Structure 1
Amino acid sequence: MSTPETEQATRDIADVAAVEVITAAAVHLMSAAAVKCGLAEDAAEQDHLDLDEARKLITALAALVTASASDIGTVHARSLRDGLRSLQLAFREASVIPDAPGEGPGEEYTGSVVPTASGSVTV
């Protein structure tokens, strides 16, 4: 049985464009991954670093961004890809045991983010 609050929430979400829902989900994944990578202001003091959790969040973000890029448009996709790449690099920097190129979190969707000696990125 639905309540008036449930009906209102359903009407509210029906008014939100898919692009907004996708980007909001991506921002939530990004924020959580940043904290788990130790990028929050007080992450070290608060013991928020959790690379196992960060890996899962970054991989989910990479899948979402890759799968939705053509639907959300170039501007949104570019911003999300930039944030994703920053998180992937932060993860690599925080890792004591580095993943092989192409095997870091989300890299099965994005390709490797490891720069080569020439400065390009391997794929």
Structure 2
Amino acid sequence: MTEQSSPPEEGAVTAAAVRDIAEIPAVAVIQAAAVHLMSAAAVKCGLAEDTDDVRGADLADLDEARKLITALAGLVTAAAPEIGSQHARSLRDGLRSLQLAFREALPYPDAPGEGPGESFTGAVS
């Protein structure tokens, strides 16, 4: 079996991408990850905007939303001491809004403290 080498352009692109990532502050990476989790959770909670071909509520999947919100809560809780209160506050606000939206979307609400991410954040009301 012979080893294939990648074209020189591919190596240059990879090196440039690594340099680009190296220049991004950790706070920005954490915020980007949190925003992706928030966006996905919002869609899975049925909060996506209606379009001509799909209703936002039709995209709801509460089991998936629970997983995404719990992951977001873990990230926000773990990152808060590292990113500072200014950045953490907005992430916590978004997380809380999603937790409340999730609770409203459930046909039978979770017990206080049992909702997604509440093991990290405490009960949300």
Same fold (TM over 0.5): yes
Give the number of the structure whose alpha-carbon radius of gyration is greater. Answer: 2
Q: TM-score range by the shorter chain?
A: 0.7 to 0.9
**Partner residue, 1:22:** 30
Q: Note the C-alpha offset of 1:95.
A: 0.3
Taking structure 2 as the reference length, the TM-score comes to 0.86
| 2:119 aligned with 1:89 | no
| 2:50 aligned with 1:42 | yes
**Partner residue, 1:3:** 11
The partner residue of 1:13 within 21, 29, 32 is: 21
Runs of 4+ aligned residues of structure 1 deviating over 2 Å after TM superposition are none
Residue type matched to 2:41 in 1? A
Taking structure 1 as the reference length, the TM-score comes to 0.88
Whole-angstrom distance in 2 between the partners of 1:75 and 1:38: 29
Q: Note the C-alpha offset of 1:98.
A: 1.0
The partner residue of 1:54 within 65, 69, 80 is: 65
Deviations 1:82-105 (Å, cap 9, x if unpaired)?
000000000000001211100000
* Uncovered stretches (5+) of structure 2, i.e. residues with no partner: 1-5
Whole-angstrom distance in 1 between the partners of 2:42 and 2:55: 15
Whole-angstrom distance in 2 between the partners of 1:76 and 1:110: 16
Q: Percent identity?
A: 72
**Backbone CA RMSD of aligned residues:** 1.5
Q: Note the C-alpha offset of 1:40.
A: 1.1
Residue type matched to 1:26 in 2? A
**Partner residue, 1:120:** none
